[in-house]
Amino acid sequence: LHKLQEKEVMTDVTLILPDQSVIPCHKVVLMAASPFFDTMFQSGLKEGAEQNIKLDFADSDIIKILVEFFYTGDIELTEGNIKALVAGSEFLCCKHLKAHCEEYLVDTVGLSNCIDYYRYGQVFNLKLLIKTAFDFILSKFKEFKGIADFDKLTEDELVEVVSCDQLNAENEDVVFEAVVYWVNADPDARKEVFPRIAPLIRFPFCSQRALTDSICCNTLMQKPGCIDFAHEALWSQFHFNCRPPIHNARCIPRQAFHLRESMSSLYRLTKSRSLNQVSLCVASFNDGSGIKWETIMPCVAPTWQRALAFIDGKIFAFGDDPASKSVNSINLQELNPEWKSEQEMLHAVNRPIIVQFANKVYAFGGWKTRVTQEFDPALNEWRMRSEMPGGCYSGAAVALGDKIYVVGGKEKVCYSYDPENDEWKVLSKPTH
């Protein structure tokens, strides 16, 4: 590039930089390297016909690095220039360079920059960087005080982190401590925010010592409704011996313990083969002196051959006997709950395997069928996906990581399903 500047051999355009320095260039090189220049020189507009092109999308040093990259294919990425080069590659529409810069950012994610990179990735739609940085925040959450700018997270960002099932917390003590730390960083503005975040803390998985010694005594918990969460957690631990697990409590589905609107009651669905119906029962704790089960409503429509699931606060029943496309739901939070019809499945099934993954619901197989059906609640649409590699009647499914696993059934199978790529794999069979 320096030799080119000295000799100006057969150049046909000059780039004028913000510091008024110039770079003689070849249009054909710029057009081949950047769709931005390709459009400029072929558009027929005045700018494309000019001999001198003024550029001010970045400082002069960054533009020189980019032009040298166009000519040589070499570029040195550093902590000091990486963000400016991402912005420059975005402006010049250089997708390959932008991807190369993203790889550098991904490889350098750490405690000092994970939040900064997470936000930066969102500005320039760097999906891999966004995921890597967010996963890093989750994995290092128990070291939250060492994460740079943790106390500067926005409310929405903190909610996204705290509500995630993959958060690395052996119990919820550290989650409560982190939220309090965040609030205390700007108490005047954030004290009123705490009641909105408190429901996301899974108090039943706090340690009993933390609940009694610090959580219940914290002034933030005296906000209306907040202290009830801690009291209910203590009550459940005392009466049901519900202790925090040794391993990460966040791997347990939130529906298992996070029914905030009905924490004073437990609901039980009993499926009776002889009566061919479902009975819905409720246990009222009242003053905590005992538990009393009572049937609050018969559910005649769903039979024992339907698959039941709890999704987004409602109970769903899928399929029927004989095989049916029907889907029904009931919302127990309504004043007079009733079973309602939902969007039908595309394929009739008898007792499919139901699992929720990310923001979708999947119905696998059923009696004498291997279909895979995916439901998108946002679009209210079902669509067919790749067939299972074999049957699995009366099996079970679990979402784990980025896969769904279907296990057991009469066929004694173990399959993994990748929803993103719509791919099934056959894994080693259970021994029993």
pLDDT tens track for 73-108: 999 999 999 999 999 999 999 999 999 999 999 999
DSSP letter, residue 213:
I
**Residue 254: which pLDDT band, with cuts at 50, 70 and 90?**
very low
**Residue 33: which pLDDT band, with cuts at 50, 70 and 90?**
very high
- Displacement of CA 157 from its chain's centroid (Å): 12
Question: Which pLDDT score is estimated for 127?
Answer: 97
Mean pLDDT of 243-258: 45
- State pLDDT tens for residues 100-116: 999 999 999 999 999 99
Q: Give CA–CA dist 331/309, Å, rounded.
A: 12
Q: Which long-range contacts (CB under 8 A, 24 or more apart) does 219-223 make?
A: 220/180, 220/183, 220/191, 220/194, 223/194, 223/195, 223/198
Take residue 101 and report the two structure tokens written for it: 């810069």
**Residue 208: which pLDDT band, with cuts at 50, 70 and 90?**
confident
Question: Which pLDDT score is estimated for 307?
Answer: 82
The better pLDDT of the pair 329, 34 is held by 34
Nearest CA among 17, 90, 11 for reference residue 55: 17
Token pair 């205390």 is found at 184
Q: How many CA atoms lie within 13 A of 117 on its CB side?
A: 29
Compute how many other C-beta atoms are within 10 angstroms of the C-beta atom of residue 334. Answer: 10
CA distances from 109 to 84, 112, 118, 147, 165 (A): 17, 8, 9, 11, 21
Q: Which long-range contacts (CB under 8 A, 24 or more apart) does 132-135 make?
A: 132/106, 133/109, 134/160, 134/161, 135/166
Query: Residue 5: is its pLDDT beyond 70?
Result: no
Mean pLDDT of 27-34: 95
Mean pLDDT of 223-241: 76
- State pLDDT tens for residues 365-400: 988 899 999 999 888 899 999 999 998 888 899 888
Question: Which pLDDT score is estimated for 288?
Answer: 46
Query: Residue 335: is its pLDDT beyond 80?
Result: no
Question: Which pLDDT score is estimated for 301?
Answer: 52
**Residue 215: which pLDDT band, with cuts at 50, 70 and 90?**
very high
Strand 22-25 relative to strand 13-16: parallel, antiparallel, unpaired? antiparallel
**Residue 244: which pLDDT band, with cuts at 50, 70 and 90?**
very low
Question: Which pLDDT score is estimated for 354?
Answer: 92
Count Cβ atoms within 10 A of the Cβ of residue 188 and give its class: 0-12 exposed, 13-18 middle, 19 or more buried. Answer: exposed
Take residue 327 and report the two structure tokens written for it: 């889907």
The answer to whether residues 39 and 33 touch, using CB atoms and an 8 Å cutoff, is: no
Domains with residue ranges and CATH for the chain: 2-127 (3.30.710.10), 140-256 (1.25.40.420), 264-300 (no CATH), 312-426 (2.120.10.80)
Region of poorest pLDDT, from 98-102, 218-222, 355-359: 355-359
**Residue 242: which pLDDT band, with cuts at 50, 70 and 90?**
very low
Residue type, 56: D
Mean pLDDT of the chain: 84
Which strands make up the sheet holding 372-376, listed edge to edge? 353-357, 360-364, 372-376, 381-385
Percent of the chain with pLDDT over 90: 55
Question: Which pLDDT score is estimated for 237?
Answer: 67
Residue type, 422: D
Q: Which long-range contacts (CB under 8 A, 24 or more apart) does 98-106 make?
A: 98/124, 98/126, 100/75, 101/77, 102/126, 102/128, 102/129, 104/77, 105/129, 106/132
Report whether the peptide linkage leading into residue 302 is cis, meaning its omega lies within 30 degrees of zero. no
Q: Give CA–CA dist 306/424, Å, rounded.
A: 24
Question: Which pLDDT score is estimated for 247?
Answer: 47
Nearest CA among 101, 164, 100, 107 for reference residue 135: 164
Q: Which residues are paired to 266 by β-bridges?
A: 283
- State pLDDT tens for residues 270-314: 444 444 444 454 444 444 444 555 565 665 554 567 788 877 778
Mean pLDDT of 25-41: 94
- State pLDDT tens for residues 42-63: 887 776 678 899 999 999 999 9
**Residue 26: which pLDDT band, with cuts at 50, 70 and 90?**
very high
DSSP letter, residue 312:
T
Question: Which pLDDT score is estimated for 304?
Answer: 60
